[in-house]
Amino acid sequence: MLSTPIKDSHSFFILPDQTCQRFTLSEIESATQNFEEALVIGQGGFGKVYKCSKIQSTTEVAVKRLHSLSNQGANEFESEVKVLSKLRHGNLVSLIGYCNEPKEMVLVYEFMPNGTLEDHLLSPDSSLSWLQLLKICVGAARGLDYHYKKYTL
């Protein structure tokens, strides 16, 4: 498997080509219609998240753009790309790719039409039973255990 280095002024890391796709800023800008506010579906510490109907051959993606004033930076971006590019599981959102150009760090995920687990857990209208919550906790613990054993032992 070939490796692609990612360089920016703060970091350098290697990603396997087959796990994650590198997008250009022009591809991201085209997909987000130059980061059109009407496409924003969320916002967090990292920055804004945009729903895009298509990027290259992938339909419906979520594009997360690092805000220039974010407390998160190159190290967190690198960690997220490294970890999520290796993980593939039915209960985890898949990282499709990234864009890392001067002053722009962007992550491209599969779009989750039913929202995130956080959305469901924090919603006052949540109809999750205690049994469902317990299954979520056990599933998360199993995922952490799997990740810990695979990447630390």
**pLDDT tens digit string along 82-139?**
877 777 766 677 889 999 888 889 999 988 887 777 777 888 888 888 898 898 888 8
Which CATH superfamily groups domain 3-112?
Phosphorylase Kinase; domain 1 (3.30.200.20)
Provide the pLDDT confidence category of residue 39 given band limits of 50, 70 and 90.
Answer: very high
Provide the pLDDT confidence category of residue 58 given band limits of 50, 70 and 90.
Answer: confident
150 appears as a binding residue in the annotation: no
Instruction: Give the containing element (helix H, strand E) for 4.
Output: strand 3-7
Q: Is the pTM of this model over 0.75?
A: no
Is the C-alpha dihedral spanning 26, 31, 34, 40 positive or negative? negative
Give CA–CA dist 49/103, Å, rounded.
Answer: 17
Mean predicted confidence (pLDDT) in 25-53: 91
Give CA–CA dist 55/102, Å, rounded.
Answer: 21
Instruction: Give the containing element (helix H, strand E) for 48.
Output: strand 47-55
